[in-house]
Structure 1
Amino acid sequence: MARFVRPRSVLAVRDLAASTLYYTEVLGFGEDSIEASGWSFLSRDGVQLMLGECVDEVDATETGNHSWFLHVMVEGIDELHQEVTQKGGKIAVPLGNRSHGHREFVVETPDGHRIMFGEAIP
């Protein structure tokens, strides 16, 4: 039987170079050794992304509450929040404990994608 190995989220971006820089410099992703014109393949600790350059793409902020594109569970949420904040990441939802038992915060990327990072509260 076929076995799923891992997902790789795909995000449309208007400026591939600027977005790749944001994901590597602010969010700490590394560039994978896959080369394809118009694409960046990124990963951090097993989380994998594909950024696809779509210059005419509608800004993700125009989708309102549908601009949530990724939820990443982490270990060390406070350290990650500090890392992202110190590197100039735009925090869309502040770090805090949520009623569903997670400590979370949300970043908004230059293309308006909102990514939530969370950790289970022990």
Structure 2
Amino acid sequence: MDEPVTFGRAAPTICVRDMQAALRFYGGVLGFATVFENGDPLGFAVLKKDAAEVHLTRKADHVASTANVMHLFVDDADALYRRLESAGTRIIKRLADKDYGQRAFVFADPDGNRIDVGARPQPRG
């Protein structure tokens, strides 16, 4: 049997055409803090919020995929959904309770990158 290997953090690297627009969105709308930047002009950034980490990399000819690039777990999908709607963010799939046990939706960042959001349903009442 192979020796066990412990994995550390994993973070998606998301390609963006306009780094400044991406930083405004991920920072201003989603609340991530930039903890590392590299390049002149800026070509790479690491952002963190709570336990989540995202790496942004500038790619001038980036074209967004129709697949989700990240699954983001949150404690309140409804609150994040309202925040994104009020910011004018493009919603790909509307907020709904899913048969796999999450309250979920999909939105697109300014570059069209799809991000899937999920939370365990909140008790009603």
- Alignment TM-score, normalising by the size of structure 1: 0.86
- Uncovered stretches (5+) of structure 1, i.e. residues with no partner: none
Across the aligned residues of Structure 1 and Structure 2, the Cα RMSD in angstroms comes to 1.6
For the pair 1:117 / 2:117, whether they are aligned, the reply is yes
1:11-45 Cα offsets, whole Å, 9 max, x none, are 1111111111111112221111x231111211111
Query: Which residue number corresponds to residue 100 of structure 1?
Result: 100
Contact residue 8 and residue 50 of structure 1 kept, 8 A: yes
- If the length of structure 2 is used for normalisation, what is the TM-score? 0.84
Considering only CA atoms, is the larger Rg found in Structure 1 or Structure 2? 2
- Name the counterpart of 1:15: 18
After superposing on structure 2, the runs of 4+ consecutive aligned residues of structure 1 that deviate more than 4 Å are none
The structure with more helix, counted as a fraction of residues: 1
Aligned length: 116
Deviation at 1:4, TM superposition (A): 2.1
Is residue 26–residue 89 contact of structure 1 (8 Å, CA) maintained in 2?
no
Instruction: Report if aligned partners of 1:9, 1:49 keep a CA contact under 8 Å in 2.
Output: yes
The percent of aligned pairs where both chains have the same amino acid is: 31
Secondary structure of the residue aligned to 1:51 is strand
Q: Which residue in 1 is equivalent to 2:37?
A: 35
Distance 2:30 2:90 in 1: 11
Q: Is contact 1:25–1:87 with CA below 8 Å preserved after alignment? A: no
In the alignment, structure 1 residue 73 sits paired with structure 2 residue 78: no
Where does residue 46 of structure 1 map in the other structure? 51
Letter of the aligned partner of 2:50 in structure 1? D
Equivalent AA in structure 2 for residue 55 of structure 1: A
Once the 2 structures are TM-superposed, how far is the Cα of residue 5 of structure 1 from its aligned partner?
Answer: 2.1
